[in-house]
């Protein structure tokens, strides 16, 4: 589990096809401190732009993770190339501060950036939800976009908006995001279960 509070940025250094070319191994460079405090370990989970991935190799300032063909197809990871920027968060430990909301790192789909308009000191971003996910979004509810915990401002059909303050833009990939880009979308966990219960009652 994670909180959606990004603690470091990483950069994809290598992309290596594995599993007969269907899967991929990513080598991600980051700050040594991110991996050292507390010490990361092989088998640990790291949220990489919203996707929970398992560390398979460690270095002083980099780590490697494997992604299956399913993950590559259902997230933005299939578009990662050397130089791609990645939001990073270590897994939540009992007793840690829950600064955002509970994020599983299980992506529901890919959302599309529609627009980014300055609004006072922040920027109002609008997105189109992944197919079938609009019902999981509520005004003032939570979503995770590329692993960033955000509060929904408004929902209109399949479109929704959030505000990004300068600090968030500076410490996440929102600082370089553009209209037309895709982001990993994860709905609030409670919304998933509420919809599932309603499906059984229907």
The pLDDT value given to residue 42: 97
Q: Which domains does the chain have, with CATH numbers?
A: 8-90 (2.40.30.20), 109-201 (2.40.30.20)
The pLDDT value given to residue 99: 73
Q: Which two tokens stand for residue 199?
A: 């499906």
The pLDDT value given to residue 6: 97
The pLDDT value given to residue 196: 64
Greatest extent of the chain over all pairs of C-alpha atoms, in Å = 53
Establish how many alpha carbons lie within 13 A of residue 80's alpha carbon, considering only the half-sphere containing its beta carbon. Answer: 35
Per DSSP, the residues of 74-136 read HSGGGG--TT-EEEEEEPP-TTS---S--B-S---EEEEEEEEEEETTEEEEEEEPPTT-GGG
Residues of the chain with pLDDT under 70: 191-193, 195-202
Nearest to 154 by CA among 184, 126, 120: 126
The pLDDT value given to residue 93: 79
pTM of the model: 0.93
């Amino acid at each position: 589990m994670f909180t959606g509070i990004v603690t470091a940025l990483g950069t994809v250094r290598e992309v290596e096809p594995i599993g007969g070319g269907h899967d991929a191994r990513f080598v991600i460079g980051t700050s040594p401190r991110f991996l050292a405090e507390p010490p990361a370990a092989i088998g640990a989970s790291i949220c990489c732009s919203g996707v929970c991935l398992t560390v398979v190799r460690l270095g002083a300032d980099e780590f490697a993770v494997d992604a299956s063909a399913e993950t590559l197809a259902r997230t933005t990871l299939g578009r990662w190339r050397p130089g791609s920027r990645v939001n990073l968060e270590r897994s939540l430990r009992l007793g840690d501060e829950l600064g955002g909301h509970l994020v599983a790192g299980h992506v529901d789909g890919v959302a599309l950036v529609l627009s980014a308009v300055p609004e006072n000191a922040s920027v109002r971003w609008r997105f189109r939800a992944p197919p079938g996910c609009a019902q999981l979004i509520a005004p003032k509810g939570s979503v995770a976009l590329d692993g960033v915990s955000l509060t929904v401002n408004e929902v209109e059909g399949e479109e929704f908006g959030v505000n990004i303050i300068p600090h968030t833009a500076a410490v996440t990939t929102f600082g370089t995001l553009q209209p037309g880009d895709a982001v990993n979308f994860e709905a609030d966990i409670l919304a998933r279960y509420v919809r599932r219960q309603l499906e059984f009652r229907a």
